[in-house]
Amino acid sequence: METNRKWKVAVIGCGMFANGQYLPNIGKEANAECVAVCDIVPERAQKACEKFGVPQWYASVEEMIEKCDFDIAIDAASIQAHHEINMAVLTAGKHLISQKPAAPTVEMLTEQIELAKAKNVKFVCVPIHPMRRDINAAKQMIKDGAIGEPTYIKCNMEHGGPEYFQYRDVDPTWFFEDGAGALVDMGVHGLQIVTTLFGPVKSIACLATVTDASRTVRSGAFNGLKIKSDKIPDEYMITMTFRNGKIGFVDTGFSQKATRTPQLEVYGTEGTLSFTKPYMENKLPELYIDCPERGLRGWITPDSWEVVPERLISQCCCLKDIIRAIEGDHDPVLTPEHARHILEIMCKIPEAIDSGSTVEIETTF
Ligand SMILES: NC(=O)c1ccc[n+]([C@@H]2O[C@H](COP(=O)([O-])OP(=O)(O)OC[C@H]3O[C@@H](n4cnc5c(N)ncnc54)[C@H](O)[C@@H]3O)[C@@H](O)[C@H]2O)c1
């Protein structure tokens, strides 16, 4: 496959995330250019076009597929629209990066995975945590025995809600409607992180509640708008047993206005790994080592480890992942099978909450 080719990218959904992470970084992250944007709200597509110097805009994915010559689509639309968009893009034989979750059910995501295989195109599912430098360093440290035998993992993946801290000129009400919610918006990150480090999950249990049934938008074009937010829980405490027998805990939701809890800690028989900074800022995790043979115990901040993975510029790094997979004809780092495993966990969480029991997970990656 030619490697100096400039890849043509189309961005679907011109909301907060596309404007903040994808559109400004396409040319910085890869040998690629944005040739078109699409949004069902035409003014948003038009505005993004002008702001980022994109030559074409569309108000429908179908029209864009028909008229525009592109190689890779990034689906950054609202959560509820992903499956239909992804099926249309894959049916057209285009490579695809999908925002999370790529589909509402495991069966639908399997349909997308099989279609991508049949069409011989690459399919990447974000979030991007398996590409992170600190996560890869932690993986290596665990493998090298830095904390002895790893025993359990704890992730705190929270913020105060999309209406609370994220500036957007789009009404955030959809985050609290069926098909969206804190679990699929935030829980997906925590679940991807813990499974990247500890592998597939065997079973889960979960407690959940609505902590705030009525919210008020605090910034942006819809500042002051009241949102009824009592339909879906906004706080989930997910416990899990991994297939390797170890255990984990993901605390996730829209229910922490602020926190000083580390986002992630991994405990082992001889130490701890602690991630204390926001996730794009951690160079390497802090490391606590208990080493009686050398009379040492305490925290260190490693400034390198044997393998120093590359630094990520933005969450558009997923473009680098798909282009490498296309050019080298191999699987991407951000596989849809991993996304499907996380999706199965999220789909079974309501059953775990209602039954108060442990629920088995069947998929793997
Ligand atoms: N860190 C992260 O990974 C992160 C953070 C925020 C959002 N996200 C994800 O990014 C996606 C978008 O979120 P956002 O915060 O930008 O939301 P947003 O509401 O700001 O933007 C979504 C945009 O999609 C458009 N849209 C909806 N249906 C469409 C369709 N069928 N075709 C074309 N456009 C359509 C909407 O008009 C809107 O402009 C979601 O999947 C969300 O979960 C990820």
Predicted confidence (pLDDT) per residue in 327-357, tens digit: 999 999 999 999 999 999 999 999 999 999 9
Identify the CATH class of 7-128+315-334.
alpha beta
Nearest to residue 146, comparing CAs of 321, 343, 284, 2?
A: 284
- The ranges of the chain annotated as CATH 3.40.50.720 are 7-128+315-334
pLDDT at 322 over 80: yes
Nearest to residue 158, comparing CAs of 135, 185, 132?
A: 185
**Separation between Cα atoms, residue 104 and residue 326, nearest integer Å:** 26
Candidate from 79-93, 154-168, 333-347 with smallest mean pLDDT: 154-168
Which residue has the CA at smallest separation from atom 31 of ligand 1?
81
Candidate from 58-67, 203-212, 277-286, 296-305 with smallest mean pLDDT: 277-286
HSE-up of 71 (CA within 13 Å, CB side)?
A: 14
Residue 133 has a pLDDT of 87
Percent above pLDDT 90 for the chain = 85
**Ligand 1: centre distance to CA 172 (Å):** 10
Among 16, 17, 87, residue to substitute to test ligand 1 (most atoms within 8 Å of Cβ): 17
Is 12 close to ligand 1, i.e. is its CB under 6 Å away? yes
Residue 334 has a pLDDT of 98
Residue 309 has a pLDDT of 61
Candidate from 128-132, 152-156, 217-221 with smallest mean pLDDT: 217-221
**Ligand 1: centre distance to CA 16 (Å):** 7
Q: State the pLDDT confidence band at 56, using cuts at 50, 70 and 90.
A: very high
Candidate from 20-34, 43-57, 63-77, 216-230 with smallest mean pLDDT: 216-230
Which ligand 1 atom minimizes the distance to the CA of 99? 41
Q: What mean pLDDT is reported for the chain?
A: 94
Q: State the pLDDT confidence band at 311, using cuts at 50, 70 and 90.
A: confident
Q: What is the pLDDT of residues 111-142, one digit of tens each?
A: 999 999 999 999 999 999 999 988 999 999 99
Residues 6+ apart with CB under 8 A from 73: 9, 10, 11, 12, 85, 89, 94, 95, 96, 97
Residue 170 has a pLDDT of 81
Among 46, 78, 219, residue to substitute to test ligand 1 (most atoms within 8 Å of Cβ): 78
Is 192 close to ligand 1, i.e. is its CB under 6 Å away? no
Is 30 close to ligand 1, i.e. is its CB under 6 Å away? no
pLDDT at 193 over 80: yes
Distances (CA, A) of 135 to 125, 235, 254, 331: 17, 25, 23, 19
pLDDT at 308 over 90: no
**Homologous superfamily (CATH) for 150-268+343-360:** Dihydrodipicolinate Reductase; domain 2 (3.30.360.10)
Candidate from 14-28, 147-161, 279-293 with smallest mean pLDDT: 279-293
Is 253 close to ligand 1, i.e. is its CB under 6 Å away? no
Is 274 close to ligand 1, i.e. is its CB under 6 Å away? no
Candidate from 1-15, 32-46, 193-207 with smallest mean pLDDT: 1-15
Q: State the pLDDT confidence band at 306, using cuts at 50, 70 and 90.
A: low
pLDDT at 304 over 90: no
Is 78 close to ligand 1, i.e. is its CB under 6 Å away? yes
Residue 142 has a pLDDT of 95
Q: State the pLDDT confidence band at 323, using cuts at 50, 70 and 90.
A: very high
Angle made by CA atoms 233, 235, 239, in degrees to the nearest 5: 110
Over residues 91-114, mean pLDDT: 97
- The ranges of the chain annotated as CATH 3.30.360.10 are 150-268+343-360
**Ligand 1: centre distance to CA 179 (Å):** 13
Nearest to residue 232, comparing CAs of 206, 212, 262, 256?
A: 212
Is 138 close to ligand 1, i.e. is its CB under 6 Å away? no
